[in-house]
Amino acid sequence: MATLYTHKDANIRKTWLLMALFLAVIIAVGWFISLYLGDPAILYVAIVFALVMNVGAYWFSDKIVIQMTGARPVTKAQAPELYRIVENLSITAGLPLPKVYVVDDPAPNAFATGRNPEHAAVAVTTGLLQILEKTELEGVLAHELSHIGNRDMLVSTVAVVLAGFVAIVADIFMRTSLFGGGRDNDNRIHPIVLVLGIVGIILAPLAAQLLRLAVSRKREYLADASGALLTRYPEGLASALEKISSYARPLQRANHATAHLFISDPFGAGERKSVWNKISNLFATHPPIPDRVRALRGSDAQQPGGGANI
């Protein structure tokens, strides 16, 4: 029978597989453009540029996210209960105490950011603090601390940057082609390779976006599993997710660039009810709440009658 541990191991393997596919897409795009334009150096420039972008985005990601979300730091005196839960969970998880922030917004949500556990931050909205019971809040915060412990911020940041880089490169290639770039090299490329390459370039941004979103969804399942193991009470997080999903209005400062960092879709946690549900879920930054709740309640880590042992 599958347990939270096996779910965690499977999600780690699948996530790194998706990251490998990302790198393969970038290498393929760079290789074809260098072949099309007759300049082998383009491939090396593309790889180096992608790595430089990754390092820069990773180093400054926490400051950028805090500014974009409007989160404000709070002290232990201002939010003693919130601080106590974060402190106890951090000790249990063996993590340094992250900085604690609050977002003034009635929509219940939370996120974690930072380049590593030593430079991490967790933030919750005022709406979340108002509607959740203690065990539910513990479940949400354990989920966010699991993102920190699992090094999800690095994986998420790399995925975002790589997806954006593929889109930029594809756009540059299409513009160059329209203005005649590379036509002198067309005769040196097999027609089938040329057609497949152009089709691949056109579809690369869509594929990269889908892979980025898939990485985000896998990280949510992994953080749910890890958070439930941390509190030893999956029902707390499951109940919190149900409450969060019942609030369908978006965050006041919802942003597509940071949407994947939140515990639930900041553009509206309510599940989509249209005939396009399955298609729209392909482009969602988060897996459906009912699926996450079923995974939590179906695990054998469930312990009746308990809260977090902290």
Residue 1 structure tokens: 């029978």
Alpha carbons 81 and 180: distance in angstroms, whole number: 64
Q: pLDDT tens digit string along 13-44?
A: 666 776 677 777 777 777 877 777 777 887 78
Residue 119 structure tokens: 């430079």
The residue ranking higher by pLDDT, 95 or 201, is 95
Q: Residue 133 catalytic? A: no
- The residue with tokens 């079923």 is 294
- The residue with tokens 């420039």 is 45
- Give the pLDDT band (50/70/90) at residue 150: confident
At residue 188, the pLDDT reads: 55
Q: What percentage of residues in the chain have a pLDDT greater than 70?
A: 63
Catalytic entry in 81, 118, 136, 144: 144
Alpha carbons 266 and 109: distance in angstroms, whole number: 7
Alpha carbons 103 and 112: distance in angstroms, whole number: 12
Least confident interval from 10-14, 86-90, 134-138, 152-156: 10-14
- Give the pLDDT band (50/70/90) at residue 273: very low
Residue 240 structure tokens: 């919190």
Q: Where are the domains of the chain?
A: 4-297
- Distance (Å) of CA 223 to CA 17, 35, 90, 181, 234: 18, 42, 15, 46, 12
What are the φ/ψ torsions at residue 109 (nearest 5 degrees)? -165, 170
